[in-house]
Structure 1
Amino acid sequence: MLYHDADLFVLPTYSENFGIVIAEALATGLPVITTTGTPWQELETNRCG
């Protein structure tokens, strides 16, 4: 899987209903950078993005 070769995952977006690719990246241990258009406020809260 390409996630294993990456250093981080970036998803710039205006609107996402869930963003399954974010969950996939996190499951492989990648830090994630995305916009506030995703429902993933936990990235900042849990310091994993």
Structure 2
Amino acid sequence: MTIIFLLIGISLLVALTFLGAFLWAVRSGQYEDTYTPAVRMLFEDEPE
């Protein structure tokens, strides 16, 4: 029975970590540009 409580605690910790990472990505602007990824393959790369 103790292992169930331990696994629940670990899973909550992992879930909160991923939630924090997602909120950090949203607040830092990772999802702001929704147009460019859809048309990026249509642009030609300029030679260096």
* TM-score (norm: length of structure 2): 0.26
| Structure with more relative contact order (C-alpha pairs < 8 Å, separation 6 or more) | 1
Q: Of Structure 1 and Structure 2, which has the larger fraction of its residues in strand?
A: 1
Higher normalized helix content (fraction of residues): 2
TM-score by length of structure 1 reads 0.26
